[in-house]
A and B are shown apart, each in its own frame.
Chain A
Amino acid sequence: MAIRWPLLVRRTHKWLALVVGVQALLWALTGMYMVAVHIDIIHGDHLVRSPVDKPFDLSQLAQPSRVVEAAPGASEIRLQRYFGAPVWRAETPDGPVLFEGATAQPLAKPTEAQVRALARQIYTGDGQIVSVKLLTDAPQEMQARKPPYWQIEFEGWNRPTLYLSPATGELISRRHALWRVFDFAWMLHIMDYDERTDVNNLLLRIATWTGFAMALVGAWLLIWSFPRRKRKKA
Chain B
Amino acid sequence: MKRIRLTPLFFRRIHKWVGLILGLQFLLWALSGSVMALLDKDKVGGHGGGMSHAHPLPAGDYAALAKLPNGEPIHGLVLRDLGARPVYEVHSPKGVQLVDATSGEQIRVDQNMAREIASMMNEAPIRSVSVLSKPNLEARDFTGPMWRVDFADDENSSAYVSLDTARFLIMRGDTWRTWDFFWMLHNMDYVNRKSFNHPLIIFVAFGTLWLSGTGFYLLFKSFSRADFRWLRRRRKPVVVTRAA
Contact with A along B200-218 (1 / 0, CB 8 A): 0110011011011101100
Q: Which residues of B contact A34 (CB under 8 A)?
A: 196
- Determine whether A124 belongs to the interface, using a CB cutoff of 8 Å to chain B: no
* Nearest CB on B from A78, distance (A): 5
Report yes or no: B208 in contact with A31, Cβ–Cβ below 8 A: yes
Interface residues of A in 205-224 (CB under 8 A from B): 205, 208-209, 211-212, 214-216, 218-219, 221-222
B205-A31 in contact (CB<8A): yes
In the complex, are the beta carbons of A205 and B34 less than 8 A apart? yes
Cβ–Cβ < 8 Å partners of B137 in chain A:
none
- How long is the Cα–Cα vector from A55 to B29 in the complex, in angstroms? 49
- Taking the closest CB of chain A, its distance from the CB of B135, in whole angstroms, is 19
**Interface digits, B27-59 against A, CB 8 Å rule (1 contact, 0 not)?**
101110110111111000000000000111111
Interface residues contributed by chain A, number (CB under 8 Å): 62
Contact B41 A63 (CB under 8 A): no
Tell me the complex Cα distance, A208–B32, Å: 9
CA distance A205 to B41 in the complex (A): 13
Assess whether B40 is in contact with A200, with CB atoms less than 8 Å apart. Answer: yes
Residues of A within 8 A of B23 (CB): 215, 218-219, 222
- Chain A residues with Cβ below 8 Å from B88 are 64
- Whether A212 contacts B30 in the complex (CB less than 8 A), given A58-B65, A63-B62, A68-B62, comes out as yes
Q: From residue A7, how far is it (CB to closest CB) to chain B in Å?
A: 13
Give Cα A190–Cα B36 distance, bound, in whole angstroms.
11
Q: Which residue numbers of B lie inside 8 Å of A, CB to CB?
A: 16, 19-20, 23-24, 26-27, 29-31, 33-34, 36-41, 54-62, 64-66, 68, 73-81, 88, 101, 195-197, 201-202, 205-206, 208-209, 211-213, 215-216, 219, 222-223
Minimum-distance CB pairs A-B, first 7: A55-B73, A75-B54, A208-B34, A212-B30, A28-B212, A79-B77, A77-B79
